[in-house]
């Protein structure tokens, strides 16, 4: 609401004196854990570029990638303390606030990019973001990471049985961990920026992530197998400190909203292109054996984890679930 008022204000104040039109001087910190050359990294840099140029340099955005400022274990607390103004964690990392944030981890919930966009741009996305308000958090947007796939160092996974006995790292949340337990694997939550080392040390056998993260984190150096499972989605929620956000004047909020929209488009335009590039690179390097699944083989995974889907879908906001199902039709 305030954003649309701001847009109207912006128009009606055209021709106002330059002093009146100037944006307040400020610095915004945006912290995330992925690399720069990922959809999230590029979206964050686009946000910075637009905000800085459109504010005439008055608003500076400092982007901290790769967990340089905060990692999974402290970024949400840092956001609530306003030590950082914007973060973009995987949705499941917000599930402490509301179970529905794990919707992207419901196995095989979203069928493609278009389904995700329909959900996020519609009432489902809005409803999900609104759940953060009472926690001092303003939901700004969803950014894509990609569908998740499994790497490990022991076995070329072809069927659900192949996961038995493996120890797999996840980004946390009850649903994705239960998915692995259902398949007879052990699952453990480890902060993203510590995963490479855990794989190297053998604390875990494998992990699941987007192709772009698998590639940019160089997991191929410490893993032997990649199976293209597409079993769940890694999707980010871009969130701001609400007190800080509410303290901004309408014109500034409107600029940030606009920049966020454009940045989101950049991430969306890039995600499939970068996924493809990462897959080609992994295949070319030949360090991991890439296993693809036929529809029938993927169906076996789907069947095996259906009870996990059913159990947790029933625990989520029914409206959010129904809208997600509708978006994926």
* Residue 175 binding ligand LMR, by CB under 6 A: no
* Residue 90 binding ligand LMR, by CB under 6 A: yes
* Residue 34 binding ligand LMR, by CB under 6 A: yes
Binding mask 211-250 for ligand LMR (x = CB under 6 A): --x--------------------x----------------
Is 145 in contact with 38 (CB distance < 8 Å)?
yes
Site for ligand LMR in 137-156 (CB under 6 A): 145
- Distance of closest approach, residue 147 Cβ to ligand LMR, in angstroms: 13
Strand, helix or coil for residue 102: helix
* Residue 63 binding ligand LMR, by CB under 6 A: no
* Residue 192 binding ligand LMR, by CB under 6 A: yes
Instruction: Compute the distance between CA of residue 206 and CA of residue 196 in angstroms, rounded to an integer.
Output: 10
For ligand LMR, the closer CB: 232 or 248:
232
Is 39 in contact with 144 (CB distance < 8 Å)?
yes
For ligand LMR, the closer CB: 214 or 321:
214
Write down the residue that tokens 């990638």 correspond to.
Answer: 65
For residue 40, the cross-strand partners are none
- Distance of closest approach, residue 53 Cβ to ligand LMR, in angstroms: 26
* Residue 209 binding ligand LMR, by CB under 6 A: yes
* Residue 66 binding ligand LMR, by CB under 6 A: no
Per-residue burial over 285-313, b if 16 or more Cβ lie within 10 Å, else e, is eeebeebebeeebbeebeebbeebbeebb
* Residue 30 binding ligand LMR, by CB under 6 A: no
Largest CA distance in the chain: 70
Instruction: Compute the distance between CA of residue 218 and CA of residue 152 in angstroms, rounded to an integer.
Output: 13
Q: Is 56 exposed, middle or buried (0-12, 13-18, 19+ CB in 10 A)?
A: exposed
- Distance of closest approach, residue 213 Cβ to ligand LMR, in angstroms: 5
Q: Which residues bind ligand LMR (CB under 6 A)?
A: 33-34, 90, 145, 171, 192, 209, 213, 234
């Amino acid at each position: 609401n305030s954003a649309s008022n701001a847009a109207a204000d912006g128009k009606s104040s055209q021709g106002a004196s330059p002093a009146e039109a100037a944006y307040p001087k400020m610095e915004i910190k945006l912290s995330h854990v992925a690399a720069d050359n990922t959809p999230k990294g590029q979206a964050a840099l686009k946000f910075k570029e637009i905000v800085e140029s459109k504010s005439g340099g008055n608003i500076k955005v400092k982007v901290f990638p790769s967990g340089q400022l905060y990692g999974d274990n402290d970024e949400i607390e840092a956001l609530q303390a306003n030590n950082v103004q914007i973060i973009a964690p995987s949705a499941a990392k917000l599930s402490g606030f509301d179970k529905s944030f794990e919707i992207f981890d419901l196995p095989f919930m979203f069928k493609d990019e278009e389904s995700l966009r329909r959900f996020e741009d519609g009432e489902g996305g809005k409803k999900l973001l609104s759940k953060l308000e009472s926690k001092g958090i303003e939901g700004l947007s969803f950014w894509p990471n990609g569908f998740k796939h499994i790497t490990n160092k022991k076995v070329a996974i072809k069927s659900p049985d192949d996961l038995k006995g493996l120890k797999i790292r996840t980004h946390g949340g009850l649903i994705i961990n239960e998915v692995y337990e259902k398949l007879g694997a052990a699952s453990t939550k480890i902060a993203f920026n510590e995963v490479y080392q855990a794989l190297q040390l053998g604390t875990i056998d494998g992990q699941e992530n987007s192709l772009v993260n698998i590639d940019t984190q160089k997991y191929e150096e410490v893993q032997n197998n990649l199976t293209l499972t597409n079993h769940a989605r890694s999707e980010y929620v871009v969130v701001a400190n609400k007190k800080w956000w509410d303290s901004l004047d309408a014109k500034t909020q409107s600029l940030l909203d606009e920049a966020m929209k454009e940045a989101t488009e950049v991430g969306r335009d890039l995600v499939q292109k970068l996924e493809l590039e990462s897959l080609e690179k992994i295949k070319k390097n030949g360090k991991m054996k890439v296993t693809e699944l036929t529809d029938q083989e993927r169906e076996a995974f789907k069947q095996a984890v259906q009870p996990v889907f059913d159990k947790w879908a029933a625990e989520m906001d029914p409206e959010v679930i129904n809208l997600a199902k509708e978006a994926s039709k």
